[in-house]
Every structure is written in C-alpha cells, then in structure tokens.
Amino acid sequence: MGPAALNHGADGEGDGETVIRRTREWRRRWQGRGRLQRIDLYQRATLETMPWFFLLTWGIAPLATDLRHDPLPWTLGGLFTLVCAAQCAYLHRILPPAHRSYLGRGAFPARGLAVPVVLLAAGLGLLVVLAAAHGIDGDGLAMFALDLPVAFVTPYVLLVPVRTFLLHCLAYAAVSAGLFASAGVRGGTLAGVAGAGLLSGLLMLLAVRPSAWSLSVMWQAEEARDLQARLAVAEERLRFGRDMHDVLGRNLAVIALKSELAVELARRGKPSAVDQMVEVQRIARASQQEVREVVRGYREADLRAELHGAQAVLRSAGIDCAIEEDRAAAGLPAAAGSALGWVVREATTNVLRHGDPRRCVIRLAVIRLTAQKRSVRLTVENDGVAAAPEPGPGPASGGSGLPGLRERLAALGGSLEAGPAGDGVFRLTATVPVDVPLKADVPVAGDVPVAEDLSVAGDLSVSEGSLTVCEPELVEDR
C-alpha cells in the first residue's frame, strides 16, 4: 500500500472523527435546551423548510410537464425557479426576527422586507412574460402562481394583523389578475391564476399564524410559571423577615431591659443581679429556638402566652398593665389567636420603645355581627405619648412592624388601626372576623397573673432612652 493510500485512509479517519464530534456537540446542545425551547426550534425549522417543500413540488413539476420546449420558455422558467429559490434562501434571514417580533421579543428591521418584495415582483414579472409568450399552459401557470408568494407571506403573516394581511392578499390577487389579463390570459385560467395567489396566502395564514400563536401562549405560560416561582421566593423572604422581626423584637427589648436592670443591681451589690442574668440567658435560648422555628416555617404565636408575657414584661418595666377580657374570647380559632398574639407582641415592643408610658390597658372583646358570625377586637392603649408617636416602622419607612401585622390580619379578613387617641394616649386596634360561635364558659379575666419566669426583683421606671431602678419598698401604690 502506497503513501497516497495511507494518507487517504488517515484523512478518512479524521473526517469520521469530525463527524462524530460534531454529532455529539449537536446532541449536547439539543439536550441542553428546555422542552419549550425544543418546540420553538422545531417550529422555526418547519416554517423555514416549508417553502422549500412547496418549491420542490409546485415549483418544479410544471417545468417537466407544462412548459413549452423552446429556449425562451425554458429560460424564463429557469429564471423563475432561481427567483423562488432566492426567496426561500432569504427566508432563513428574515424569519427569525419576524418570529421574535410576533412573540414580542424584538423589533423587525425597518427595511427587512425590501429584498423579498423585489424578489416577489421579479417572479411575478417573469410569470407575466411567460404567459404573454404562451410558453406554459394554464395548469402550470396556476402552479407557478401558487408557489410564488409562499416564501414572502410566511414571515409577512407574523408582522401584520390578520385583517391587514387579508386585505393585502386581495390587493395582490387583484394586481396579478390585471397583469395576467394584460398578457392575454382569459377565462378560467385568469381566475385560477388570480385565485392561486389568494389561496397561497390563506394557506400560510392557517398554517403559520396558529402555530406561532400557540407557541406564544406556551412562552407566556412558561414566563408566568417563572414569575410565580419568583413571587413565591419573594413571599417566603417577606414571611421570614416579618417573623424574624416579630419574634426577636420583643425578646431583644426584654433582654436589653433585664441587662440594664442587672447592671444597676450589680452596682448596688444586689445578689438578684445574678437572677436577672440567668433570665436573660433563658430568654436568649428561647429566642434561638424561635428563630429555628421561623426558619422551618412553623412559628406560631399563642395569644394566652403572649398576654401573660406582655403583662409580665410591662410590669417589670414599671408600667401598670391591665388586661380586660370577655368570657366569650376563650375559644378563639388557632389562626385568629395566633394573629392576635403577634399583635400583642408587637404592641408590647412599641410600648417599651416609645414615649414614657405609666399605664397600659389590653382589651380583648367579642363583637356579635350575626348569630353565627362574630368579630374579635383587640385594643392596646398606653399613655405617655407627648407628640405624634412613631409606633414602629410603617409603610413609609418600609419596615416590618405594623405593615407585617396588617399582612397577617388581612390574610384572615381582619384589619389594624394605630394612632393617637387624644390626651397623650396611643391606641392600637386589631379586628379579626370569626365565623364560628365562641365558647362562653371561661370566667371573666381581670389582670392576668404575672408569669413567674418573667418576674424581677424591683420595679423599673422606663423613659425614652433611660432606665431607673426603684427599691420595692419605695414604689408608691398605683
């Protein structure tokens, strides 16, 4: 075997490896596409190959059967076939931007149809000359007229409204009928040639437009699913931020309060400072557990526990706290009780942070709407508000306090109102509808007993930015 044969064999092996490598790359790219991207590619490939299919059937068949075997008709028929092939080739360039324009993903070039219009006019002119030279019979002329506008109307039907497209098809049929009539075409042949252009436009309208519309609907559904997923993520972030604010807000306020108390007691040599730091440690550990529950999405507030905790914290801060509760409020549904529990927690945090309160009243009342529908109203009032209060971040500041509570209550059909009530009193009112009869077997509760784990040695006097320890025997009876 000579060197030339060896080189030829090596070249053959190299070509085979190139084909295999390209095939693998194509397969990788295909597998990397999503399902909808594959459908989009399949549809565009179908639209681009459809005019070639019609050219090889409608455009080639008359050359062998209906064309007169003379030099001039053969020349005109060959030029017409070349014009149709040029239309199909140029379609690959303008169909993608037309498709993107229909889907709303880009603009079609201003002069993108200039070349197709010129080619369409050239093809129509060749057919008129061919008909005038009597170089083709009526059936072949109709086949040529049917194939000529296919490559043009395929992208054009995506660029204009359906009504405009139909009007343009009628105009094209009328112009072609006039030209062929001037070339001597008469009778049924003229009607067939004029109707062929109109039929070609209608076929492309029925084939291309519904296919593109269905693809646009699928893309819109895909985008809607993506948007829904992003909204779900954003909603989860909002929930996490709101719950973190609600969980840690009061706990951190209590930790700061008890830490200052422990410092003051330690400076005075009181052994109860150790007890306060132990309580701070317990609250910190409880906060860790609550944060874990927030992360898992299982955090719920208990109204009864929040009422006990609020009264204990406020009293330990030197604020007289009274709780007034209706008998019927004992059987609240879990969702309503949890939402009102968060309201109690946030309201307690705001009482501690703002103003110089001396008294706070928490009222829980049941309002009868109908025999089976009632509404639960929670009201928190505190004094010591000298000017317009700032009860935590509001909508203008983009915080997570009262806006977060409004979101919780709105999910249950409830509402939240907060603002000054006159005479230095600030009032926060939360209302939640309850659609089931409430239990009335619980005695009326006055002041809720102070929780033992939140009790402190000594009372606190809280003002804006300061804390003072008072000995128990020096505190006046209120």
DSSP states along 183-210: TT--HHHHHHHHHHHHHHHHHHHHHHHH
Is the pLDDT reported for residue 7 higher than 80?
A: no
Q: Percent helix, strand and coil across the chain, each rounded to 5?
A: 65, 10, 25
d(CA 244, CA 346) in angstroms, rounded, equals 12
Indicate if the pLDDT at residue 286 is higher than 90.
Answer: no
State residue 389's pLDDT score.
44
**pLDDT tens column, 401-446:** 778 788 878 888 899 998 888 888 899 999 998 864 444 444 333 3
Q: Is the pLDDT reported for residue 209 higher than 80?
A: yes
Higher pLDDT, 100 or 316: 100
CA distances from 125 to 180, 200, 291, 437 (A): 10, 18, 80, 86
The angle subtended at Cα 334 by Cα 371 and Cα 320, nearest 5°, is: 95
- pLDDT tens profile 17-28: 787 877 777 777
Output the furthest CA–CA distance in the chain (Å, rounded): 128
Distance in angstroms between the alpha carbons of the first and the last residue of the chain = 118
Of all residues in the chain, what percent carry a pLDDT higher than 70? 79
Rounded to 10°, the helix 187-267/334-353 angle is 60
Task: Tell which wins on pLDDT, 1 or 166.
Answer: 166
Per-residue pLDDT tens for 385-407? 765 444 444 333 334 577 878 88
Helix (H, G, I), strand (E, B) or coil at 140: helix
Where does the pLDDT of residue 12 fall: very low under 50, low under 70, confident under 90, or very high at 90 and above? low
Nearest 5°: CA angle at 294, between 293 and 297? 85
Alpha carbon distance 53, 59 (integer Å): 9
Report pLDDT for 13.
Answer: 58
- pLDDT score for 159: 92
Tens digits of per-residue pLDDT, 311-366?
888 887 778 889 888 776 777 788 888 888 888 888 888 887 776 788 899 998 88
What is the rounded average pLDDT of the residues 269-285? 85
Average pLDDT of the residues of the chain: 78
- With H, G, I as helix, E, B as strand and everything else as coil, classify residue 297: coil
Q: Calculate the CA 342 to chain-centre distance.
A: 29
| Tens-place pLDDT, residues 222-236 | 788 777 767 766 776
**Whole-number pLDDT of residue 219:** 78
| Predicted confidence (pLDDT) at residue 72 exceeds the cutoff of 70 | yes
- For 268-272, 367-371, 417-421, which range has the lowest pLDDT when averaged over its residues? 367-371
- Cα–Cα dist 338/342, whole Å: 6
Helix pair angle (187-267, 138-147), 10° resolution: 10
- pLDDT digit string, tens, across residues 105-157: 888 988 889 999 999 999 999 999 999 988 888 888 898 999 999 999 999 99
Q: What's the pLDDT tens digit per position in 288-307?
A: 777 777 665 555 667 888 88
Lowest mean pLDDT among 246-260, 370-384, 450-464: 450-464
- Per-residue confidence band for 11, with pLDDT thresholds at 50, 70 and 90: low
Share of the chain above pLDDT 90, in %: 22
**What pTM value is reported for the model?**
0.49
Instruction: Give CA–CA dist 265/214, Å, rounded.
Output: 76
pLDDT at 310 over 80: yes
* Structural tokens at position 464: 């804006």
CB-CB neighbours of 218 under 10 Å: 14
